[in-house]
């Protein structure tokens, strides 16, 4: 019987092509949008974690409050001890110190005259730690355009774009001018050991990257750090666990009234990432829901349009000795077959499109220049192929087709046999 | 020997709701049909022919009275039971909307047997046999949409006959056919009637059909007007 139905569907283009196109289109969009949004959201979350928020971040309460101003005067002190105890408590996590700072870069020529100046965003990571974890985490080695990672004190990496603007090359010396933790003037000379492009708009505007120990030195932050970042196993974010850890950590300082006491904030509590995480998890469900609804309506109408053909077939088959329920059921099988065909086509197209977006991506760096968001936006938005893309399309594809078909067939089903036969007399 | 009665109609009345009141389509009909009859219900349009045949074919139910078909009380059949009765024992031929488009001649006929869950080999054998009865054995794979009206009606006859039913109901089967085709399919049906002793019930207002019938029942405004047995003259050929 199924074979018989299949024959009918394949031959009767008028009955199958339109629904198949509708289902394919809906499934295609579901898969494409799911894969794309998942990819973009995932990238945003992932990059935020690596470059900015960690999976959890420890700061002083005062620092946390003014975090947008890079308030190193409010930084944590005694961080060796804090990190030590965190490592003790959560040995499976990686804990690292970071210092962000602002200032100016001054380039001096051989005669000692200023060749150029520019504001910089200073970033310091544990580059000299020997574990290489931070270097790997931020993919520094691959992001280096020329040169290498800083290996000894007073070496610095600088954004490639920035280096070109200031006409800097490897081996050149630059002077950093800023203010120390205590508010006095900070001067320090760095030797450029490489230039870097992360592909993250915020990081590529004008950054200087040095080791944390250098930053502590020039900013007068002995045993201090603006932020301590914690990364979970394999650098994969576990929402609940991060919440638990930070709640526990904060509870232990609950009775401490000191504004410089440390506090821990999980990733999703930073930079409005919570909504993105929630969306990222439910994006497929939302899209599926939306497309089931929209496609069902369309298919319902398409079904009604082909109602006359349905009517005739219903009448003939009733006379041939099928019960109504049986006929209605085979109409549903037909819908399932059409739904599967449409879903397969839509999924293939959708996954291909996501794959294309994963490889090529959409470059939005131009747009990002005008955008001053605290969110870490990757400058190329990419889709991501996840296993679920291969089956999520079938949910709206099949449900919408079956639902639309059942709705449009209901009118016929409810008719009295006699009325039906009467209406069929032309 | 008097042949077996397979249809008994006693005091059949059928009313259809019409607005707030009711419309009487059939009124107090009493009839009997025996196995092997080649009978027709004749009357002007709207006289109740189709209504009567639909009730006999268990596509509709009596409002009052008793209709028994092949020992089944039509009033008492469930929807599924009546479907089963049609499936196994009754073949239908209509004036129009007869065939499933997109399918071939063969497949249209085969469909009747698929509903009976016959095996593929059984189906193929029976379908080819049925197509031979109606003279379509050479075009089993033709799409029914490409057939002429006469050929289409032949497919319908083959489909009705392929399951060797006890009863074939033909509601104005020649209404859309020219004279040549009409005579030809009537000839075919008459032959099948003789060969298999299948009971044929027609509805018609076509003179050509009437000339083939052994029994003519006249309906007018839902009432039985006359019921006559026709004694065909034996014409030597
Ligand atoms: N299902 C129905 N609902 C309402 N009225 C019907 C229905 N079927 C038939 N009728 C009415 O019953 C009368 C007889 O119809 P029908 O049996 O189709 O006549 P015939 O086949 O002789 O032309 C007509 O007036 C028709 O309108
Ligand atoms: Mg009629």
Domain co-membership, A219 together with A343:
no
Is there a domain that residue B234 lies in? Answer: no
Residue A123, classed as helix, strand or coil, is: strand
Domain co-membership, A61 together with A23:
no
* CA geometry: angle B208, B210, B211, nearest 5 deg: 70
B77 in contact with A, Cβ within 8 Å: no
Cα torsion at B138, B139, B140, B142 (round to 10°)? Answer: 170
* Optimal mutation site among A8, A14, A321, interface B, most CBs of chain B within 10 A: A321
Determine what percent of chain B is predicted with pLDDT higher than 90: 85
Q: What is the pLDDT of residues A161-182, one digit of tens each?
A: 889 888 888 999 999 999 999 9
Is there a domain that residue A309 lies in? Answer: yes
Specify whether the CB–CB gap between A111 and A131 falls below 8 A: no
Which position has the higher pLDDT, A332 or B234? A332
Is there a domain that residue A137 lies in? Answer: yes
Final residue in a domain of this structure, among A176, A207, A231: A231
A131 pLDDT band, cuts 50/70/90, is: confident
Is there a domain that residue A238 lies in? Answer: no
Domain co-membership, A110 together with A180:
yes
**Residue A376: left (phi > 0), alpha (psi -120 to 50), or beta?**
beta
Domain enclosing residue A210, as ranges: 56-231
Q: What is the pLDDT of residues A326-348, one digit of tens each?
A: 888 888 888 899 899 999 999 99
Domain co-membership, A68 together with A200:
yes
Which position has the higher pLDDT, A250 or A239? A250
The DSSP secondary-structure symbol of A86 reads H
Q: A261, exposed or middle or buried, with CB in 10 Å at 0-12, 13-18, 19+?
A: middle
Q: What is the pLDDT of residues B13-72, one digit of tens each?
A: 999 988 889 999 999 999 999 999 999 999 999 999 999 999 999 999 999 999 999 999
Choose the residue to mutate in B14, B23, B172 for probing ligand 1, maximizing ligand atoms within 8 Å of C-beta: B23
Q: Is the pLDDT of residue B115 over 80?
A: yes
Rounded mean pLDDT of chain B? 92
A103 in contact with B, Cβ within 8 Å: no
Number of other CB atoms surrounding residue B225 within 10 Å: 12
Q: What is the pLDDT of residues A193-223, one digit of tens each?
A: 999 998 777 778 789 999 999 999 999 999 9
Q: Does ligand 1 lie within 6 Å of residue A418's CB atom?
A: yes
* Cross-chain Cβ contact A424/B112 below 8 Å: no
Rounded mean pLDDT of chain A? 87
Q: Does ligand 1 lie within 6 Å of residue B45's CB atom?
A: yes
The residue count for chain B = 237
Q: What is the radius of gyration, based on Cα positions, of chain A?
A: 31
Greatest Cα pair distance, chain B, in angstroms, is 59
pLDDT for A198 equals 84
| Smallest Cα distance from A32 to chain B, Å | 35
Is there a domain that residue B52 lies in? Answer: yes
Is there a domain that residue B235 lies in? Answer: no
Lowest-pLDDT range of A2-6, A12-16, A187-191, A359-363: A12-16
Segment A93-114 shows an average pLDDT of: 88
Is there a domain that residue B237 lies in? Answer: no
Cα torsion at B115, B106, B144, A402 (round to 10°)? Answer: 40
* Cross-chain Cβ contact A425/B96 below 8 Å: yes
pTM of the shown model? 0.75
Distances (CA, A) of A132 to A80, A140, A141, A212, B19: 19, 10, 10, 13, 88
Long-range contact list for A76-80, CB < 8 A, 24+ apart?
A: A76/A224, A76/A225, A76/A226, A76/A227, A76/A228, A76/A260, A76/A262, A77/A221, A77/A222, A77/A223, A77/A224, A77/A260, A78/A223, A78/A224, A79/A223, A79/A224, A79/A225, A79/A228, A80/A223
Is there a domain that residue A61 lies in? Answer: yes
Domain co-membership, A213 together with A284:
no
Domain enclosing residue B38, as ranges: 5-229
**CATH code at position B51:** 3.40.50.300
Specify whether the CB–CB gap between A351 and A389 falls below 8 A: yes
Is there a domain that residue A249 lies in? Answer: no
Domain co-membership, A18 together with A83:
no
* CA geometry: angle B162, B164, B165, nearest 5 deg: 115
Domain co-membership, A220 together with A73:
yes
Closest protein CA for atom 17 of ligand 1? B48
Is there a domain that residue A162 lies in? Answer: yes
Range picked from A280-294, A299-313, B1-15 for highest mean pLDDT: B1-15
Distances (CA, A) of B98 to A59, A204, A237, A418, B105: 81, 74, 65, 17, 12
Is there a domain that residue A264 lies in? Answer: no
Specify whether the CB–CB gap between A159 and A207 falls below 8 A: yes
pLDDT for B236 equals 43
Is there a domain that residue B213 lies in? Answer: yes
A189 pLDDT band, cuts 50/70/90, is: very high
* Cross-chain Cβ contact A315/B50 below 8 Å: no
Residue carrying structure tokens 């449900």 = A399
Domain co-membership, A373 together with A224:
no
Residues 162-221 of B with CB under 8 A from A: none
Lowest-pLDDT range of A224-228, A360-364, B190-194: A360-364
Domain co-membership, A20 together with A127:
no
Q: Does ligand 1 lie within 6 Å of residue B44's CB atom?
A: no
Distance B49 CA to ligand 2 centre (A): 6
| Smallest Cα distance from A341 to chain B, Å | 19
Across the strands, what pairs with A121?
A: A102, A207
Specify whether the CB–CB gap between A119 and A103 falls below 8 A: yes
Final residue in a domain of this structure, among A171, A202, A231: A231
pLDDT for B1 equals 47
pLDDT for B152 equals 93
Domain co-membership, A72 together with A174:
yes
Phi, psi (rounded to 5 degrees) for A204:
-100, 5
pLDDT for A384 equals 85
Is there a domain that residue A315 lies in? Answer: yes
pLDDT for A206 equals 86
pLDDT for B237 equals 41
Give the span between the Cα atoms of B49 and B204, in whole angstroms: 8
Domain co-membership, A79 together with A132:
yes
Is there a domain that residue B70 lies in? Answer: yes
Segment A108-135 shows an average pLDDT of: 86
How much is the ipTM here?
0.89
Q: What is the pLDDT of residues B160-208, one digit of tens each?
A: 999 999 999 999 999 888 999 999 999 999 999 999 999 999 999 888 9
The tally of domains found in chain B comes to 1
Contacts of B111 in chain A (CB under 8 A): 4, 320
Give the span between the Cα atoms of A59 and B144, in whole angstroms: 80
Lowest-pLDDT range of A52-66, A228-242, A265-279: A265-279
Residue B77, classed as helix, strand or coil, is: coil
Domain co-membership, A8 together with A33:
yes
Give the span between the Cα atoms of A370 and B145, in whole angstroms: 64
């Amino acid at each position: 019987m199924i074979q018989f139905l299949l024959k009918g569907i394949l031959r009767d283009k008028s009955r199958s092509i339109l629904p198949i196109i509708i289902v394919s289109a809906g499934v295609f969009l579901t898969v494409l949008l799911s894969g794309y949004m998942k990819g973009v959201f995932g990238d945003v979350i992932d990059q935020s974690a690596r470059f900015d928020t960690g999976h959890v971040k420890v700061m002083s309460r005062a620092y946390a409050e003014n975090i947008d101003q890079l308030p190193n005067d409010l930084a944590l002190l005694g961080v060796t001890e804090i990190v030590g105890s965190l490592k003790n408590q959560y040995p499976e996590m990686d804990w690292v110190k970071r210092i962000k700072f602002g200032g100016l870069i001054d380039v001096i020529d051989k005669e000692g005259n200023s060749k150029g100046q520019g504001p910089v965003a200073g970033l310091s990571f544990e580059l000299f730690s020997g574990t290489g974890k931070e270097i790997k985490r931020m993919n520094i080695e691959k992001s280096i355009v020329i040169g290498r990672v800083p290996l000894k004190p007073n070496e610095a990496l600088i954004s490639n774009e920035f280096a070109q603007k200031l006409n800097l090359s490897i081996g050149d010396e630059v002077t950093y001018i800023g203010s120390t933790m205590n508010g006095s003037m900070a001067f320090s000379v760095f030797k450029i050991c490489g230039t870097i492009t992360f592909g993250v708009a915020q990081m590529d505007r004008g950054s200087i990257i040095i080791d944390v120990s250098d930053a502590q030195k020039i900013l007068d932050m002995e045993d201090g750090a603006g932020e301590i970042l914690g990364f979970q196993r394999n650098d994969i974010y576990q929402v609940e666990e991060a919440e638990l850890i930070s709640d526990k950590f904060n509870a232990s300082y609950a009775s401490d009234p000191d504004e410089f006491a440390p506090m821990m904030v999980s990733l999703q509590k930073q930079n409005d990432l919570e909504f993105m995480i929630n969306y990222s998890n439910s994006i497929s469900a939302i899209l599926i829901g939306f497309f089931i609804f929209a496609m069902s309506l369309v298919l319902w109408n398409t079904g009604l349009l082909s109602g006359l053909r349905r009517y005739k077939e219903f009448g003939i088959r009733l006379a041939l000795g099928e019960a109504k329920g049986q006929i209605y059921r085979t109409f549903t099988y037909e819908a399932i077959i059409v739904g599967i065909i449409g879903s397969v086509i839509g999924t293939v197209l959708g996954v291909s499109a996501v794959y294309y977006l994963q490889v090529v991506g959409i470059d939005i760096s131009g747009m990002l220049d005008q955008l001053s968001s605290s969110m870490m936006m990757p400058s190329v938005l990419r889709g991501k192929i996840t296993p679920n893309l291969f089956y999520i399309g079938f949910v709206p594809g099949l449900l919408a087709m079956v639902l639309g078909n059942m709705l449009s067939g209901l009118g016929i089903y409810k008719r009295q046999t006699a009325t039906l036969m009467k209406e069929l007399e032309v | 020997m008097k042949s077996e009665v397979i249809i008994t109609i006693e005091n059949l009345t059928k009313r259809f709701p019409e607005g707030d009141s009711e419309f009487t389509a059939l009124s107090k009909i009493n009839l009997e049909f025996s196995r092997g009859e080649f009978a027709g219900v004749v009357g002007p349009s709207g006289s109740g022919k189709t209504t009567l045949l639909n009730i006999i074919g268990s596509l509709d139910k009596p409002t009052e009275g008793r209709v028994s078909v092949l020992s089944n009380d039509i009033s008492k059949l469930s929807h599924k039971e009546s479907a089963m009765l049609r499936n196994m024992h009754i073949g239908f031929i209509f004036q129009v909307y007869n065939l499933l488009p997109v399918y071939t001649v063969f497949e249209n006929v085969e469909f009747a047997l698929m509903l009976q869950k016959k095996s593929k080999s059984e189906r193929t054998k029976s379908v080819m046999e049925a197509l031979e009865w109606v003279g379509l054995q050479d075009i089993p794979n033709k799409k029914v949409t490409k057939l002429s009206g006469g050929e289409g009606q032949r497919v319908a006859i083959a489909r009705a006959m392929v399951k060797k039913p006890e009863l074939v109901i033909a509601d104005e089967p020649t209404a859309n056919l020219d004279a040549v085709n009409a005579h030809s399919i009537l000839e075919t049906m008459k032959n099948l009637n003789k060969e298999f002793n299948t009971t044929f019930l027609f509805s018609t207002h076509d003179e050509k059909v009437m000339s083939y019938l052994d029994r003519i029942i006249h309906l007018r405004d839902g009432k039985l007007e006359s019921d006559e047995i026709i004694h065909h003259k034996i014409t030597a050929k």
